[in-house]
């Protein structure tokens, strides 16, 4: 919509973009080995073994999704980022994210530690203290649902620094509905035998699980970020 001056036939055209986003999937592989004797005697729980492989893929996808959202926040500018939590800062950011996405409702996501910073002071503490102690964070803050995400360890740091993927100092405010800020695609899967127990000196059975996964951040839908002190 444009305001027109007298004698001007039309204003400036406002372009609308409706383009497709292409996410290319690349092969991701998990290689593991099973002790043949434990497997043959049914001592080893195959269900638990498969669950660990599935969680490895889940942790990888989660890591890529969080990295994409973190990088995308720099493209939105200071208008969609605040430092700390207060009624004014949180409420204004909620309105901006909602208005930038066509009036959509928004939710705040982060770790339970990060969401614990969304709390009202003063006499309100008497009423919300029980919920804070039981859950660790409020169900909602200023009308915005708070959703805690389960964290995962960064691969390769399990036995050293045990770094977590999600930062306890960041809360994301994401619109509900419409386009998602992160796109994830899958293309088939493949399970193959790496080596047979009768061909190895330690009688081990090797399995390779491959899945084609693609993760990309879509900066079209605006979302906000709250940086905690």
Residue 200 DSSP one-character state = S
The token duo for 171 is 């809360």
Query: Is 156 part of any domain?
Result: yes
The token duo for 13 is 């055209």
Query: Is 114 part of any domain?
Result: yes
Query: Is 5 part of any domain?
Result: no
What is the DSSP pairing of strand 106-110 with strand 224-227? unpaired
Residues 9-63: pLDDT tens digits? Answer: 665 565 555 556 677 888 888 888 888 777 778 787 877 888 888 888 888 888 8
Interval 205-228 mean pLDDT: 81
Using CA atoms, how far apart are residues 208 and 29, in angstroms rounded to an integer?
7
The counts of H helices and E strands in the chain are: 5, 9
Query: Is 190 part of any domain?
Result: yes
- Which one has a higher pLDDT value, 80 or 198? 80
Q: Report the domain count for the chain.
A: 1
pLDDT of residue 123: 55
Query: Is 3 part of any domain?
Result: no
Answer whether residue 7 shows pLDDT above 90.
Answer: no
Most confident of 127-141, 148-162, 179-193, 203-217: 148-162
pLDDT of residue 125: 57
Length of the chain equals: 229
What b/e string do you get for 94-111 counting C-beta neighbours within 10 Å, with b at 16 or more?
bebbbebbeeeebbbbbb
Interval 130-152 mean pLDDT: 84
- Helix, strand or coil for residue 214? strand
**In sequence order, what DSSP letters do the residues of 116-180 get, joined into one string?**
TT----TTHHHHHHHHHHHHSS-SEETTEEEEE----BPTT-TTTT--BSS-TTEEEEEESSSS-
Strand residues in 1-122 grouped as ranges (E): 26-35, 81-83, 106-110
Q: How far is CA 202 from the centre of its chain?
A: 40
Using CA atoms, how far apart are residues 159 and 75, in angstroms rounded to an integer?
35
Residues 153-188: pLDDT tens digits? Answer: 887 788 899 988 888 999 999 888 766 667 788 887
What phi and psi values does residue 74 have, to the nearest 5 degrees?
-70, -20
Query: Is 2 part of any domain?
Result: no
Domain that holds residue 141: 26-227
pLDDT of residue 95: 94
pLDDT of residue 189: 75
Query: Is 63 part of any domain?
Result: yes
Report the range of poorest mean pLDDT among 14-28, 73-87, 111-125, 150-164: 14-28
Closest CA to 90 of 173, 174, 180: 173
**140, 40 Cβ separation under 8 angstroms:** no
Query: Is 1 part of any domain?
Result: no
């Amino acid at each position: 919509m444009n305001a027109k001056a007298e004698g001007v036939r039309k204003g400036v055209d406002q372009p609308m973009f409706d383009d497709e986003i292409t996410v290319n999937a690349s092969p991701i592989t998990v290689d593991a080995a099973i002790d043949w004797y434990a497997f043959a005697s049914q001592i080893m729980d195959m269900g638990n073994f498969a669950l660990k492989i599935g969680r490895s893929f889940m942790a990888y996808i989660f890591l890529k999704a969080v990295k994409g959202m973190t990088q995308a926040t720099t493209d939105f500018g200071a208008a969609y980022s605040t430092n700390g939590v207060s009624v004014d800062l949180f409420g204004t950011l909620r309105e901006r994210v909602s208005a930038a996405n066509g009036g959509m409702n928004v939710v705040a996501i982060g770790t339970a530690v990060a969401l614990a910073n969304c709390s009202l002071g003063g006499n309100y503490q008497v009423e919300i203290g029980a919920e804070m102690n039981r859950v660790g964070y409020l169900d909602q803050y200023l009308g915005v649902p708070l959703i805690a995400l389960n964290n995962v360890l960064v691969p390769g740091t399990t036995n050293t620094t045990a770094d977590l993927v999600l930062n306890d100092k960041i809360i994301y405010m994401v619109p509900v509905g419409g386009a998602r800020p992160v796109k994830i695609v899958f293309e088939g899967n493949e399970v193959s035998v790496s080596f047979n127990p009768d061909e190895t000196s330690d009688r081990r059975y090797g399995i390779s699980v491959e899945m084609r996964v693609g993760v990309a951040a879509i900066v079209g839908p605006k979302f906000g970020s709250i940086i905690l002190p």
